[in-house]
Amino acid sequence: MSRIGKKPVEFPAGVTIVVGKDNVVTVKGPKGELKQAVDRDMKLEVKDSHLELVRPTDQIRHKAMHGLYRSLVSNMVKGVSEGYTKQLELVGVGFKAASTGNLLDLALGYSHNIVFEIPKELKVTTSQEKGQNPIITLESVDKQLLGQVCAKIRGLRKPEPYKGKGVKFKGEVLRRKAGKSAGK
């Protein structure tokens, strides 16, 4: 049996979980509201301050979905209560980032600036301190959307293995390669 699926999803005071028709789970909290459709075979039982997912059989399909949906609902609960934050670091000479509203203006060493539109569900801030690399901070209640947007921004200029230039996550350790060996 799925170890993750068996664990109940605890939710703090101020967070409400409602299971609607067609197994659509709605989680409301102080930071916002999220919805997730859960497979119709899974049974959701909301008790005092926790939610349990019960699978009907031990079929491979049901086993696969048991832990998945438990993790998705758990991420929703954490998102509406605490929120998620990711930071991206621009490493490279002349790399800059500026944000105005939902637009992120990036200078990543190409002949032109890249203007990236951030979804309205995310909050973006940029900072540049003297002697430090520019930092892009993204905040959201939706973990999936946050990860997707970060991956797209990182994909605009992935870190290269020789000098480490590019867009990387704050604290990410890059696998570096040795350059050319000098003469014989």
The rounded Cα 119 to chain-centroid distance in angstroms is: 13
pLDDT score for 5: 84
Residues 86-128: tens digit of each pLDDT? 999 999 999 999 999 899 999 999 999 999 999 999 999 999 9
Confidence of residue 6 (pLDDT cuts 50, 70, 90): confident
Q: Where in the chain is the domain with CATH 3.90.930.12?
A: 3-81, 84-169
Stated length of the chain: 184
Residues 152-166: tens digit of each pLDDT? 999 999 999 999 999
Confidence of residue 181 (pLDDT cuts 50, 70, 90): confident
The rounded Cα 83 to chain-centroid distance in angstroms is: 10
Full-model pTM = 0.88
Residues 61-88: tens digit of each pLDDT? 998 899 899 999 999 999 999 999 999 9
The span from the CA of 136 to the CA of 76, in Å, is 23
Number of other CB atoms surrounding residue 174 within 10 Å: 13
Fold for 84-169, please state it.
Outer Surface Protein A; domain 3 (3.90.930)
* Range list of β-strands (E), 30-150: 32-37, 43-46, 50-54, 84-91, 96-100, 103-107, 114-117, 123-127, 135-140
The span from the CA of 93 to the CA of 95, in Å, is 6
φ/ψ of 151, rounded to 5, equals: -65, -35
For 166, residues 6+ apart whose C-beta sits below 8 A from its C-beta are 91, 92, 108, 154, 157, 158, 159, 160
Average pLDDT of the segment spanning 41-51: 89
Fold for 3-81, please state it.
Outer Surface Protein A; domain 3 (3.90.930)
pLDDT higher than 70, residue 41? yes
% pLDDT > 90, the chain: 71
pLDDT score for 4: 85
